[in-house]
Amino acid sequence: MRALVWHGKEDIRCDTVTDPQIEDARDAIVRVTSCAICGSDLHLFHNFIPAMLPGDVMGHEMMGEVVEVGTAAKAALKVGERIVIPFTIICGECEQCRRGNFSVCERTNRNKAIADKVFGHGTAGLFGYTHLTGGYPGGQAEYIRVPFADRTHIKVPNALSDDQALFLGDILPTGWQAAINCDIEPSDIVAVWGCGPVGQMCIRCAILLGAAQVIAIDCLPERLSMAEAGGAVPIDFKTESVIERLAELTGGKGPDKCIDATGLEAHVSITHPDSILDRGKQMMMLESDRAHVLREMIYVCRPAGVLSIPGVYSGLVDKMPMGMLMNKGLTVRTGQTHVNRWSDDLLRRIEEGQIDPSFVITHTVGLEDGPEMYRVFRDKQDSCIKVVLKP
Ligand SMILES: NC(=O)c1ccc[n+]([C@@H]2O[C@H](COP(=O)([O-])OP(=O)(O)OC[C@H]3O[C@@H](n4cnc5c(N)ncnc54)[C@H](O)[C@@H]3O)[C@@H](O)[C@H]2O)c1
Ligand SMILES: [Zn+2]
Ligand SMILES: [Zn+2]
């Protein structure tokens, strides 16, 4: 089959690889009808997250048609059914799965022993996301093997198109969880850093959950316009002072809740001197992540507020203002998304027309164009916001 394969830093190719097969009785094989490139894939593209190996198949946002089911998954899944595959592989039985903490499932990461050493405790298995999360081949491919398929799926009603359903596997629940983690109250002003696909979902979810006002921060006009169309007040960090504008918009109080939808690759610019220091340290391998957004959120957040961090961080960050965080009494919430915790509710909201996540798609191409689209998405060429691939 054809698949997008990681060969090294900034080197993704569309290769012919071995077709996946049932390896365990709980597996299923899915013919991928749609998949997407995620901001998290860019961190792998830039080799900022350790433990990718040449030959690894990329992709963790995908859906398709079930074509084969292992004996132990047959009661839950039938050939011909249409499913979204959550990016977190879940067993559904361990203590964390029973609590709904699916992204830290205790059984699905087949490299858990190594991950335990690196993180203290390993996380769930993830598709296409390094050998620290199990080294499972991803879904930017014609077919994918879904381990623990009896639990690792979201069934999609035929009335919904692929474009409406696809993001149930990653960015929609990620935006939702980030907003839920803010404990939004009707008087709350929520500020969102980053208006990529995840930020766009955060904005819409915060509004759905009743925020009084949402403020969106980025530097790309097309992303800020999309945020504005979704109901947010935009701030362009290249032409305005984020700190001054947030003070103005909140009557000097600061946003009650702050969402980091940027992650470890915060923009490097002369107006953000700490980002230059981070970049230098990154190049000398003294620090792995650029944490400008985290520092800015801690500085501007209203005392007793919440910092919700869906943005991905990989390792170590320096110059964290812990004194500010502690004395202002801020709450920090973060994590890979517990996708299936939110699926039923979000599927219903899509069916009822409360939200149609397909608004974020700007590019739809074939799998062969995938390698080129990684660059287009990374460089924000052609006003690219979200790429969907049809294998
Ligand atoms: N927690 C999860 O489960 C989960 C799931 C999906 C994605 N993510 C993460 O969410 C983050 C965003 O993903 P995406 O797909 O939207 O990626 P993206 O790269 O398209 O978006 C990031 C945006 O942040 C903006 N940005 C950079 N520096 C900024 C700054 N200083 N202030 C404000 N904005 C800034 C960029 O201009 C860009 O538009 C990534 O780190 C990704 O890995 C996490
Ligand atoms: Zn993702
Ligand atoms: Zn589990």
pLDDT tens, residue by residue, 118-176: 999 999 999 999 999 999 999 999 999 999 999 999 999 999 999 999 999 999 999 99
Ligand 1 lined by 171 (C-beta under 6 Å): yes
Q: Does the CB atom of residue 337 touch ligand 1 within 6 A?
A: yes
User: CB under 8 Å to 352, separation ≥6 — which residues?
Assistant: none
**Residue 286 corresponds to which amino acid?**
L
Task: Please give the Cα distance from 321 to 138 (Å, whole number).
Answer: 37
Residue 325 corresponds to which tokens in the numbers above? Answer: 């965080």
Q: Quickly list DSSP for 172-196.
A: HHHHHHHHHTTT--TT-EEEEE--S
Share of the chain above pLDDT 70, in %: 100
Q: What mean pLDDT do residues 264-271 have?
A: 94
- Pocket lining: 367 vs ligand 1, CB cutoff 6 Å: no
Which tokens hold the place of 125?
Answer: 């298995």
- What's the CA gap between 280 and 290, in Å, rounded? 10
194 lines ligand 1 (CB under 6 A): yes
Residue 374 has, within 13 A of its CA and on its CB side, a CA count of 23
d(CA 228, CA 231): 5
Residue of 104, 172, 262 to test ligand 1 pocket, by largest number of atoms within 8 Å of CB: 262
| Dist CA 138 CA 152 (whole Å) | 14
C-alpha–C-alpha distance, residues 41 and 4, integer Å? 11
Confidence category of residue 218, pLDDT binned at 50, 70, 90: very high
**What distance in angstroms lies between residue 171's CA and the mean position of ligand 2's atoms?**
6
Residue with tokens 């921060």: 217
d(CA 299, CA 293): 10
Place of tokens 């610019």: 269
The pTM of this model reads 0.98
Which atom of ligand 1 lies closest to the CA of 313?
41
CA quadruple 181, 187, 191, 195: dihedral sign: positive
Q: How far apart are CA 169 and CA 127, in angstroms?
A: 11
Q: What is the pLDDT of residue 360?
A: 98
